[in-house]
Structure 1
Amino acid sequence: MAKTDDDALAEAYNRALALEKAGEFDAAAKAYADVLALDPDDHGGASVRLASMKRGDVPVRAPEAYVTTLFDQHADVFDKVLVEDLGYHVPMLLRQRLIGLSETSFERMLDLGCGTGLTGSALEDMADDATGIDLAENMVEIAHEKGLYDTLYVADAVDYLDDNDDDPFDLIAATDVLPYLGELEPLFAAVAKNANPAALFCFSSETLPEAEFEGRSYTVGGFQRFAHTETYVRQALNAAGFTCIEAGDIIVRHEQGLPIAGHLFVARKQ
Structure 2
Amino acid sequence: MKKIDEDALAEAYNRALALEKAGDFDAAAKAYEEVLKIDPEDHGGAAVRLASMGRGETPPKAPDAYVETLFDQHAESFEDILVEQLNYAVPVMVRQRLQDLKLGPFKRMLDLGCGTGLTGGTLRDMVEDITGIDISENMVEIAHEKDLYETLYVAEVEDFLEDNDDEPFDLVTATDVLPYLGALEPLFFGAAENMVPGGLFIFSSETLPADDGRPYIVGPHQRFLHSESYIRERLADTGFEIIDLSEINVRMQDGQPSPGHLVISQLTRAHD
When normalised by structure 1's length, the TM-score is: 0.97
C-alpha distance in structure 2 between counterparts of 1:92 and 1:43, whole Å = 31
Number of equivalent positions: 267
For 1:117-128, list aligned pairs within 5 A.
117-128=117-128
Report the residue type matching 1:250 in the other structure. Answer: I
Q: Helix, strand or coil: the match of 2:42? A: coil
What's the counterpart of residue 179 of structure 1?
A: 179
Preserved CA contact (<8 Å) 2:208 2:228? no
Unaligned runs of 5+ in 1: none
What's the counterpart of residue 257 of structure 1?
A: 255
What's the counterpart of residue 53 of structure 1?
A: 53
C-alpha distance in structure 1 between counterparts of 2:237 and 2:198, whole Å = 16
Q: Helix, strand or coil: the match of 1:148? A: coil
For 1:153-164, list aligned pairs within 5 A.
153-164=153-164
Preserved CA contact (<8 Å) 2:110 2:171? yes
* 1:210-237 deviation line (CA, Å, top 9, x unaligned): 1xx6531110100000011111001111
Report the residue type matching 1:115 in the other structure. Answer: G
Unaligned runs of 5+ in 2: none
What's the counterpart of residue 244 of structure 1?
A: 242
Report the residue type matching 1:267 in the other structure. Answer: S
- Report the Cα offset of residue 208 of structure 1: 2.6
C-alpha distance in structure 2 between counterparts of 1:104 and 1:87, whole Å = 26
* 1:157-177 deviation line (CA, Å, top 9, x unaligned): 111111111100010000000
Report the residue type matching 2:138 in the other structure. Answer: N
For 1:180-195, list aligned pairs within 5 A.
180-195=180-195
C-alpha distance in structure 1 between counterparts of 2:97 and 2:60, whole Å = 30
For 1:190-269, list aligned pairs within 5 A.
190-210=190-210, 215-269=213-267
Report the residue type matching 1:239 in the other structure. Answer: D
C-alpha distance in structure 1 between counterparts of 2:212 and 2:195, whole Å = 34
What's the counterpart of residue 34 of structure 1?
A: 34
CA RMSD of aligned residues (A): 1.0
Report the residue type matching 2:243 in the other structure. Answer: I
C-alpha distance in structure 1 between counterparts of 2:67 and 2:59, whole Å = 14
Q: Helix, strand or coil: the match of 1:216? A: coil
Preserved CA contact (<8 Å) 2:182 2:224? yes
- Report the Cα offset of residue 209 of structure 1: 1.9
C-alpha distance in structure 2 between counterparts of 1:157 and 1:208, whole Å = 23
C-alpha distance in structure 1 between counterparts of 2:58 and 2:176, whole Å = 19
C-alpha distance in structure 2 between counterparts of 1:226 and 1:218, whole Å = 7
C-alpha distance in structure 2 between counterparts of 1:59 and 1:113, whole Å = 19
Percent identity (aligned)? 63
Report the residue type matching 1:174 in the other structure. Answer: A
Preserved CA contact (<8 Å) 2:209 2:227? no
What's the counterpart of residue 148 of structure 1?
A: 148
Report the residue type matching 1:96 in the other structure. Answer: Q
Q: Helix, strand or coil: the match of 2:76? A: helix
C-alpha distance in structure 1 between counterparts of 2:10 and 2:214, whole Å = 33
Preserved CA contact (<8 Å) 2:208 2:216? no
C-alpha distance in structure 2 between counterparts of 1:141 and 1:235, whole Å = 36
Report the residue type matching 1:86 in the other structure. Answer: L
Q: Helix, strand or coil: the match of 1:171? A: strand
Q: Helix, strand or coil: the match of 2:192? A: helix
What's the counterpart of residue 8 of structure 2?
A: 8
What's the counterpart of residue 169 of structure 2?
A: 169
Report the residue type matching 1:257 in the other structure. Answer: G
- Report the Cα offset of residue 104 of structure 1: 2.9
Report the residue type matching 1:246 in the other structure. Answer: D
- Report the Cα offset of residue 186 of structure 1: 0.8
